[in-house]
Structure 1
Amino acid sequence: MSQDGAGVDLETSLGYLLKEASSALRVAMEEVLRPLGMNITHYSCLELLAQRPGLSNSELARGAFVTRQTMNVLLQALERDGSVTRPTEAPVGKALPTRLTPRGRRSLEKASAAVRSVEVRMLTGLTEADRATAFRILRSMIHSLREGDT
């Protein structure tokens, strides 16, 4: 509560500070991805496919924090531009496994370098110990919040 009891004091709210950091990171990432013809969802999709080839639309949507509909529109565009490939029919069930093409891998390499530059900028001024502590604390927060989901 704020000093007057009317709600959260944004100056001391860790949740608000995390949201502000997330927003600043998103803006910085969008700025470096835009010249590459990408946005964060586009980049996330390519990165997920590089790490786990064959993911379905639903799995990609969950991993990129977007709706299945949004991911489906993106996948159709990525398929048209030759960055990904999907079979015309599902090998099993209804899911169409998606894979990166060589063109998609090249796009991802450029985007990954751009995103890494943002992360380096974000961590400037932190020691290696500070970074390790930040990772540990953030992972702990995520774990604590997700425990309530089960």
Structure 2
Amino acid sequence: MHPDEEDCSPRFPFGVDDAPAGYLLKMASHAIRRDIEHQLRPHGLTPKQHHALTILTLNPGITHTDLEKPLHIEKASVTSLINGMEKRGWLVRKQHPEDARIKQIFLTEEGMQMHKVSVQAVRQAQVRLNQAFSPEENEILRILLRKVVNAYS
């Protein structure tokens, strides 16, 4: 920083070196999410849309209800997300062949193309993270993060 510039960074009662692990996880998560959002934004995508496109690519015909858990959002939010993606032409809803009350969700050709675009954008965001660690450190980090996830599951 230039000596004449004012330091506007937030002040905490601790530095990054002595911050609690939970706080560091939160900081890292926010930084990664911002980078992913930055990579997706030029394509008119959000991280939640990327996640939904990925789930729909892997699970053609999935229902609204089946999307709630992996997307970590409530039913009304799933409906809003799916409605928006349908308006953009990325997916279609079809009646279940055995139960007309159930609507299955399928990606359109345009939706499949948007998924490919979103995957490339997210990969760009992941490059920075991968460059920060050696392959061994990356594996250790993955092991530790899985332990954190499992501790709260």
Q: Aligning the two structures, in what range does the TM-score lie when normalised by the shorter sequence?
A: 0.7 to 0.9
Matched residue, 2:73: 66
Q: Which segment drifts farther, 84-93 or 61-70?
A: 84-93
Q: 1:53 is paired with a residue of what secondary structure?
A: coil
| Greater percentage in strand | 2
Contact 2:37–2:47 (8 Å) recurs in 1: yes
Matched residue, 1:31: 38
TM-score normalised per structure 1: 0.83
1:17 aligns with 2:52: no
- For structure 1, the residue ranges without an aligned partner over 5 or more in a row are 1-7
1:56-111 superposed Cα distances (whole Å, 9 cap, x missing partner): 21222321222221111111121122211111567437442211111101001011
Contact 1:83–1:101 (8 Å) recurs in 2: yes
CA shift for structure 1 position 141: 1.5
1:6-41 superposed Cα distances (whole Å, 9 cap, x missing partner): xx9684311111111111111111111111111111
Contact 1:42–1:74 (8 Å) recurs in 2: yes
1:90 and 1:76 mapped to 2: Cα distance?
Answer: 21
**Which of 139, 148, 152 is the equivalent residue of 1:145?**
152
Instruction: Classify 1:86/1:136 alpha carbon distance in 2 versus 1 (closer, same or farther; 3 Å).
Output: same
Aligned residues: 139
Contact 2:95–2:102 (8 Å) recurs in 1: no
TM-score normalised per structure 2: 0.81
2:76 and 2:152 mapped to 1: Cα distance?
Answer: 27
1:109 aligns with 2:116: yes
2:97 and 2:37 mapped to 1: Cα distance?
Answer: 33
Q: 1:143 is paired with a residue of what secondary structure?
A: helix
Matched residue, 1:5: none
Q: 2:136 is paired with a residue of what secondary structure?
A: helix
CA shift for structure 1 position 132: 0.8
2:28 and 2:124 mapped to 1: Cα distance?
Answer: 16
Contact 2:96–2:103 (8 Å) recurs in 1: yes
Instruction: Classify 1:23/1:88 alpha carbon distance in 2 versus 1 (closer, same or farther; 3 Å).
Output: same
- For structure 2, the residue ranges without an aligned partner over 5 or more in a row are 1-12
1:42 and 1:97 mapped to 2: Cα distance?
Answer: 17
1:105-129 superposed Cα distances (whole Å, 9 cap, x missing partner): 1001011001011011122131111
**Which of 35, 51, 54 is the equivalent residue of 1:47?**
54
